[in-house]
């Protein structure tokens, strides 16, 4: 990650298995709406709800993420979660990145609706909410009207630090992309071309080579 000196920073964590246009559009919408100077994409080590054998090796997810963000001068990538190793928890991501950022940086963690609705199951959720403000991006199939309920005891203290961002709905998920590839179906325009080429060249997700 290049040194970041400017003040408004978005952090987009995810398994990115693979990264898709829903991730990119959510990050770009957050950048524009919150006047962010930089968005740092942070591929997760092992996601807390998954087993190591269930995720594609980190080097592939890192390189696909790098390929996906390269054309956007506002986007960067960080290896903090990969280098720490083991299961990734957002609170650790934020703690580690905070150390690399200017002390007065305004830090926003960007999540989709599904992720924020599970916040009470996170490690140290209150601490995570103290380390960054949150941008909860709408996602088809997940209603953010349940957010106050999902926050439970954290609602009173932290509601002002969570901002809901309505974005053009993109019903894309990595799960769906993996399934399509395994079935030999098209994912063109759901992932960037560069990512699709990488997937084909490495035969990931059971994808066949270029036809
Ligand atoms: P999977 O199906 O494997 O869980 P995913 O598509 O949910 O993959 P993740 O890497 O789990 O992708 O998600 C990283 C972050 O991006 C999460 O905060 C998630 O909510 C958000 N996100 C993913 N897809 C979308 C989308 N289509 N619209 C808005 N947010 C999204
Ligand atoms: Mg997910």
Where do the domains of the chain lie, and which CATH numbers do they carry? 8-171 (3.40.50.620)
**pLDDT for position 209:** 64
| 5 pLDDT more than 70 | no
pLDDT (0 to 100) of residue 51: 79
Helix (H) or strand (E) holding 100: helix 90-100
For ligand 1, whether the C-beta of 78 sits within 6 Å is no
Supply the residue whose CA is at minimum distance from atom 27 of ligand 1.
Answer: 22
Does the beta carbon of 111 lie inside 6 Å of ligand 1? yes
Q: What ligand 1 atom has the least distance to the C-alpha of 111? A: 18
Strand-by-strand arrangement of the 75-77 sheet: 75-77, 38-43, 8-14, 106-112, 133-137, 162-165
168 lines ligand 1 (CB under 6 A): no
Does the Cβ of 110 fall within 6 Å of ligand 1?
no
Ligand nearest to the CA of 114: 1
Note the ligand closest to the C-alpha atom of 15. Answer: 1
Residue nearest to atom 31 of ligand 1 (CA): 112
Q: What is the pLDDT of residues 121-135, one digit of tens each?
A: 999 999 999 999 999
Ligand number nearest to the C-alpha of 111: 1
Is there an atom of ligand 1 within 6 Å of 175 CB?
Answer: yes
What pLDDT, on a 0 to 100 scale, did the predictor assign at position 4? Answer: 72
Which pairing describes strands 87-88 and 133-137: parallel, antiparallel, or unpaired? Answer: unpaired
Residues written for the chain: 211
Mean pLDDT (whole number) for 102-108: 95
Contacts of 5 (CB under 8 A, 6+ apart): 102
pLDDT at 211 over 60: no
Q: Is the minimum distance from the CB of 14 to ligand 1 under 6 angstroms?
A: yes
Say yes or no to pLDDT of 208 above 90: no
pLDDT (tens digit, 9 = 90+) per residue, 11-22? 999 999 999 999
How many CB atoms are closer than 10 A to CB 2? 7
User: pLDDT tier at 26 (50, 70, 90 boundaries)?
Assistant: very high
pLDDT value at residue 75: 98
- Confidence check: pLDDT of 3 > 80: no
pLDDT in tens, 143-194: 999 999 999 999 999 999 999 999 999 999 999 999 999 999 999 999 999 9
> For 45-49, 88-92, 113-117, 146-150, which range has the lowest pLDDT when averaged over its residues?
45-49
């Amino acid at each position: 990650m290049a040194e970041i000196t400017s003040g408004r920073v978005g952090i987009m964590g995810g398994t990115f298995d693979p990264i898709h246009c829903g991730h990119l559009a959510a990050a770009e919408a957050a950048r524009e709406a919150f006047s962010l100077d930089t968005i740092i994409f942070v591929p997760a080590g092992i996601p807390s709800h998954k087993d190591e054998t269930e995720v594609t090796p980190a080097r592939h997810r890192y390189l696909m993420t790098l390929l996906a963000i390269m054309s956007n001068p506002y986007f960067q990538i960080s290896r903090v979660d990969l280098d720490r190793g083991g299961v990734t928890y957002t609170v650790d991501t934020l703690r580690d990145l905070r150390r690399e950022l200017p002390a007065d940086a305004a830090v926003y963690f960007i999540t989709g609706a599904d992720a924020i609705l599970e916040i009470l199951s996170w490690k140290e959720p209150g601490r995570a909410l103290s380390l960054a403000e949150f941008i909860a991006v709408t996602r088809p199939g997940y209603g953010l009207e349940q957010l106050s309920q999902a926050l439970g005891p954290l609602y009173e203290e932290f509601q002002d630090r969570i901002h809901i961002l309505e974005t053009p709905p993109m019903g894309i998920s990595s799960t769906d992309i993996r399934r399509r590839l395994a079935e030999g179906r098209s994912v063109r325009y759901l992932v960037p071309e560069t990512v699709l080429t990488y997937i084909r060249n490495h035969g990931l997700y059971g994808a066949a080579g270029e036809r």
